Amino acid sequence: MPVLSVMDELPSFCIGDRVLVSNIQPGTLRFKGQTNFANGFWAGVELDNPEGSNNGTYDGVVYFECSEKHGIFESPVLGTSGQEELAKRLAELELSRELFDVLGDEQDWFDEDFGLSSRKQQQKQKPQQDGISGA
């Protein structure tokens, strides 16, 4: 039986790396490779929040394991425009991973309205002490 060799389209990512899917959904890379459900190369991600469509199993095949609704499969190539699109998508994924590494797991790091860190916003709202105590 011939063995089909597949090029790793995510060579800079390892299973267990923290990633952002579509630049908004944080998760952990749990699978990368070919699947039985579609042609091409796929990334299987365990999302932090239950925003997925599966538990890492698709059509009875277990690709990875996670809680129900935490699994998602994402093609690293958007459309079919070839190497340029692949390079662009990989650069976006790499940037997403770097940003996640810098920000860590703090989900409230950026305020949605102002783009400020929560700590900076709390400091802005804290009343100034003027050295006068009691009244």
What is 106-135 written as a DSSP string? -TTSB-TTT--BHHHHHHHHSPPP-S----
Averaged pLDDT, 116-126: 46
Run of H or E residues at 97: helix 83-103
Q: Is residue 116 part of a domain?
A: no
113 confidence band (pLDDT: 50, 70, 90)? very low
Neighbours of 102 (CB within 10 A): 8
Q: Is residue 4 part of a domain?
A: no
Q: Whole-prediction pTM value?
A: 0.55
CATH number (domain holding residue 48): 2.30.30.190
Predicted local distance difference test score (pLDDT) of residue 109: 47
- Ramachandran area for residue 92 (φ above 0: left; ψ -120 to 50: alpha; else beta): alpha
Q: Which domain holds residue 103?
A: 18-107
Domain count, the chain: 1
Neighbours of 43 (CB within 10 A): 21
Predicted local distance difference test score (pLDDT) of residue 76: 75
pLDDT digits (tens, 9 = 90+) for 32-76: 999 999 988 899 999 999 999 999 999 999 999 999 999 999 987
For residue 106, give Cα distances in angstroms to 37, 82, 101, 118: 35, 36, 11, 10
Higher confidence at residue 71 or residue 94? 71
